[in-house]
Amino acid sequence: MTSAADGTGTKSGRRETPDERADRQWQELMQEIRVAQTGVQILLGFLLTVVFTPRYATLGGTDKTIYIVTVVLGSLATGALIGPVAFHRIVAGRRIKPQAVAWASRLTFAGILLLLATLTSALLLILRVATHDALAPAVVAGVLLWYLLCWFALPLWARGRYTTKEE
């Protein structure tokens, strides 16, 4: 293990300065955002067109409410996932990259949570309209559990399992 006393400013095995670490973390974060951002923007684009279809007028009050909540959640997710880009643009050159990385990471995590809510809400609406089946909420709950397992439980398990106490 490398210590901060060796002049690298890090506690990991990487030999990078705090600025190099912030640059690396920023690049990693931008790659992660590209994946989530594309999905949420495509989903939101489709959602925004629904209100202009003839079928929208035939939806019941509950389905319209779910639709509106879904669109708002998708808009919030889009904002949170685009936020780090605007944040970076506004603070670029101010020598606060580590702080920008921390804030961008928070915005990204908020965006992921909002994306989770958007996908769950959209699936509920689609299954209610497509099937009129009382099983729709159970199917949505199962898919939500799958998202939670893939997005949170598995990474948290791996972090606990493979992270040493020294890191």
Structure tokens given for 159: 């972090």
Q: What percent of the chain shows pLDDT beyond 70?
A: 91
Give the Cα separation of 123 and 109 in Å (integer): 21
| CA-to-CA dists, residue 127 to 65, 121, 134, angstroms | 15, 10, 10
C-alpha span between 99 and 11 (Å, rounded): 18
Distance CA 124, CA 138 (A): 10
Give residue-wise pLDDT tens across range 21-80: 999 999 999 999 999 989 899 999 999 999 999 999 999 999 999 999 999 999 999 999
DSSP code for 51: T
The reported pTM is: 0.86
Give the domain ranges of the chain. Answer: 16-136
- Model confidence over 120-141: pLDDT tens digits? 999 999 999 999 889 999 999 9
Backbone angles phi, psi at 94, to 5 degrees: -95, 5
